[in-house]
Amino acid sequence: MAPLHGKAALVTGGSRGIGAAIAERLAHDGADVALTYNASPDRAKAVVSRVEQTGRRGSAIRADAADPAAVAAAVDQVTTEFGRVDILVNNAGIFPYGTIDEFSLENYENTMAIHVRAVFVAAQTAAKQMTDGGRIISIGSSLVERVPAPGFSLYSMSKSALVGFTKGLARDLGPHGITANVVHPGSTDTEMNPADGEGADEERELTALGRYGSANEIAATVAHLAGPSGAYITGTTITVDGGVTA
């Protein structure tokens, strides 16, 4: 039997890149999978189609991660459609790049709303109906552990907040049998950071393996945490970065 048979998952920002790979991997492992998107309905539908090709149910929900009401409503909609939410993957994100003097307060507020407040709201809403065996997994960044160049201060700060929140969440939800963890990807070949893009050679040189990771490699780690083998892992971070932080 597939390890996630009978489970229902929500992946925020699941229409492309790492989020899409996670959605498809969880479906491959037996879960019904809903995903949120903001501006890519066609891509979201394509991911849902691939989910459904595995024989699992799929759903695409339009929800702006910067809108807390929309985030909470998306979790509730999954509960209504699938009858439950067992796995929450907080993946929706943006990539603000620039030095501290280049950012406005609006840049700060938008980044924190998407990377921190949305995670808080989704986790709080999902935890209210999760049962023993529930999983909350947030996608962070290896830039939390090492910042190798200027331009990442705001991004790194927002992703760092997930670590403290997740450690506390693990303590809050542990008595209910619910785990909470963070996965920190390194340079991953996606549209946001393509392996043939500007600066890609410099990123490769920072790794011990000399290459970018694939979205499927990040998804495999998430699937491990979401499945039975991840039952005793909580309140921690797992870095999948090819050795950048070694």
- For the chain, which residues make up each domain, given as ranges? 8-240
- Give the other-Cβ count within 10 Å of 6's Cβ: 11
Nearest Cα neighbor of 56 from 86, 90, 92, 76 is: 86
Q: Tell me how many degrees the CA angle 173-16-178 measures, rounded to the nearest 5.
A: 10
| CA 230/CA 56 separation, integer angstroms | 22
Query: What pLDDT does 148 receive?
Result: 95
97 assigned to active site: no
Query: What pLDDT does 6 receive?
Result: 96
- Please list the rounded mean pLDDT of every run of 10 residues in the chain (246 residues): 96 98 98 96 98 98 98 98 98 97 98 98 97 98 97 98 98 98 98 94 97 98 98 98 97
Query: What pLDDT does 234 receive?
Result: 99
| CA 96/CA 155 separation, integer angstroms | 6
Q: Please give the structure tokens belonging to residue 167.
A: 């450690």
| CA 55/CA 143 separation, integer angstroms | 37
CATH architecture designation of domain 8-240: 3-Layer(aba) Sandwich (3.40)
Contact status, residue 159 vs residue 111, Cβ threshold 8 Å: no
| CA 123/CA 145 separation, integer angstroms | 23
Query: What pLDDT does 116 receive?
Result: 98
Query: What pLDDT does 1 receive?
Result: 83
DSSP of 144-209, one letter per residue? GT---STT-HHHHHHHHHHHHHHHHHHHHHGGGT-EEEEEEE-SB-SSSS-TTSTTHHHHHHHSSS
Active-site residue among 97, 155, 212, 232? Answer: 155
